[in-house]
A and B are shown apart, each in its own frame.
Chain A
Amino acid sequence: MKLNRRAIFGTVTAGALALSLAACGGDDGESSSPEINGTGASFPDAFYAAAIEGYADVNADAVVTYDAVGSGTGKSDFGEGLNDFAGTDSLVGEGDGPEEGSYQYIPTVAAPITVSYNLPGVEALQLSQETLAQIFQGDVTTWDDPLIAADNPEAELPATEITIAHRSDGSGTTSNFSMFLDEATESWTLGAGDTIEWPSNSVGGDGNTGVAQTIQDTEGAIGYVDLADATESGLVFASVENADGNFTQPTLEGTTAGLEGAVVNDDLSYNPLNAAGPDAYPITAPTYILIRTEYEDAEVGQAVKDFVEYLLTDGQELAAEAHFAALPESLQQQALDALNETIAD
């Protein structure tokens, strides 16, 4: 009898043991200020991760997590009330989740999208907006095309065929890049969006790193990659013609210069693509944090406010190291004002 009962016990022990063992290992994780969770865009993750680390150094009690699950998931989580703030590269559209009036955009940083290429022997390449459109829609198929030669009178261009490297997944980078070509040029016919019907001389890659890899491996390849990944992969980027007609390299200074020229809407969304200014780099992607206009728990609201305030002030200094451009001061101030207005102390 006694043995039998113990035998039954034995059949479920695996589970019970797991629990009792785990109970021994548990620590008390309580902290005085509430933990806040953000989910969303992966594009600014490098910056947010650095900022969360920096924030922990300044404010040891505060706990912030940011889960880079993509802008789309971030927005739907926001709509479902699963996160305390969301990160997104694109604006909230209909059916994305968050209800009209329930959120406020807070721009945090921006980063350039590079036009990276692999052409041994050509170390500096200049591309006008028109040429860029012709290349990416497959009308220009070799590197020694007169259109490219006209932009680069001094370069010796080989007759190598052009291979377009693009994102195979739906991507905010694709969206911003195609939106730039769509807005800036007359001849661009492929439209704008998270996915594009690319011409036949193109190769898809998964994520920014996938595109970077394709460019690295393929002679004659050209593609669009965010600055952080392009730099880390050691790619060469072209100078792109900006709205003022100057050829500029994708640098953080050029990006910040581009932000200064951008028109900021009342809701703090802005479009930094092809912004005016002599030094502005034309292909710049913004990124935002969505904060709630109403927090059920005022302490959570305060914690979100403290963190976002840090992002907009001391946190901005961490941006450059992670290859992101800080906001110009005017926009920083606008964002701070909106933050103070949305979440009252």
Chain B
Amino acid sequence: MTTVTQGGPPDLSGKNLSLRRAAANRAATIGIGLCVLIAAFPLILVAYQVVVRGGSAIGLDFLTEEIARNYRTAGGGMGPAIVGTLLITGMAALIAIPIGVLGAVYLNEYGKDRPLAKFIRTMADVMTGVPSIVMGLFIYVAYVLVIGERTGFGGALALACLMLPIVIRSTEEMLRLVPDELRQASAALGARKWRTTLSVVLPTASSGITSGSLLAVARAAGETAPIIVTVGLTYLYRPDLFAGQNTTLAAQIYRNATQPFEASQERAWGAALVLIAIVFLFTILSRIISARFAIDRR
């Protein structure tokens, strides 16, 4: 900062590098480029496969009709599974995101390094590593067996348990990124702590919190094992989460893909495409929303 360069800005074009450094630079650039390609390759391949194989299955009927009662024959749609996915994941998000965000606010704004906060932080980290089937079995024992019926709400609870630690940890990371100067400025204007948190900290971090929460929603939407254990199976539209068995796209993909029949495998590809499209749609929606509401930090 203090040194003054003579004769204009420094030359960063790399033309004057020594041969060894130029070669190293070139090699590193190519290496990184290759890594990007390798990383993108499976993603592109997956998307390509799903679109090609699932595309032929999808039509208006596929999106709206009831689910076929027999895996072996063609026909039927995924309507109930689409509604089930949206409802169950939505309910799970409604449970997990407010609790998770408020929990993270406690951890970062109030708890800080207190023993309780440290304990919760550690537990949240451990919980992110718990296999989803364990959450499913937990809800099976704690909820399904108690009320004596597999329902959509049981699935929502299991998914909420899965999402909660992700939401807590990602939100806390985002809150930590909010500069302390903002909090101090707000306090200097006479705002109380809750007012500062509500009006300054959360809005500043909102875009990060949204993408973190969305990651959790996307993960939950694709969960299969806990859904199979807690939700059961239905062929019909089941808008009521609290009575009657339900189904989701992920569960339908699993059920259909594990059958050796062509018709069911085609249905599984179609359902996979629909699921990816739904997650994609939500990603874009939330990006738009968070971009619109985020405080401009310039």
A residues sitting closer than 8 Å to B (CB atoms) are 1, 3-4, 6-23, 25-29, 31, 35, 37, 39, 46, 49-50, 52-53, 56, 63, 65, 67, 69, 80-82, 209, 229, 232
Contacts and interface: CB of A to CB of B under 8 A. Distances in A.
A29 B213 contact: no
Interface residues of B, number: 58
A53 B213 contact: no
B237 A15 contact: no
B233 A65 contact: yes
A154 to B, nearest CB: 35
Contacts of B87: 19, 22-23, 26
Given A37-B245, A82-B148, A14 B210 contact: yes
A65 B245 contact: yes
A17 B282 contact: yes
Interface stretch (B44-52, B69-77, B265-273): B69-77
B276 interface: no
Interface stretch (B111-119, B126-134, B196-204): B196-204
Contact of B203 (A8, A17, A21): A8
Among A8, A11, A35: residue with most chain B CB under 10 A: A11
11 contacts: A10-B289, A15-B94, A15-B97, A18-B86, A19-B87, A21-B90, A28-B239, A29-B236, A37-B233, A53-B70, A69-B228
A12 B69 contact: no
Contacts, number: 151
Contacts of A27: 79, 83, 237, 239
Contacts of B217: 14-15, 18
A17 B198 contact: no
Given A22-B87, A26-B87, A82-B144, A10 B70 contact: no
B252 interface: no
B206 A10 contact: yes
B166 interface: no
B101 A11 contact: yes
Interface residues of A, dominant DSSP: helix
A209 B260 contact: yes
Contacts of B256: none
Interface of B: 69-73, 79-80, 82-83, 86-87, 89-94, 96-98, 101, 144-145, 148-150, 198-199, 202-203, 206, 209-210, 213-214, 217, 228, 232-240, 244-245, 260, 282, 285-286, 289-290, 292-295
Given A26-B87, A209-B260, A14 B233 contact: no
B232 A10 contact: no
B199 A4 contact: yes
Contact of B98 (A10, A12, A65): A12
A37 B232 contact: yes
Contacts of A35: 234, 236, 244
Contacts of A22: 83, 86-87, 90, 239
Given A11-B101, A53-B69, A53-B70, A28 B237 contact: yes
B70 A50 contact: yes
A19 B202 contact: no
Given A17-B282, A80-B148, A81-B148, A11 B83 contact: no
B202 A11 contact: yes
Contacts of B92: 15
Contact of B93 (A1, A15, A29, A81): A15
B241 to A, nearest CB: 10
Given A9-B293, A16-B94, 16 more contacts: A1-B199, A4-B198, A4-B199, A10-B210, A12-B93, A15-B96, A17-B282, A18-B282, A19-B86, A19-B94, A25-B79, A25-B83, A50-B70, A53-B70, A65-B245, A82-B145
B279 to A, nearest CB: 11
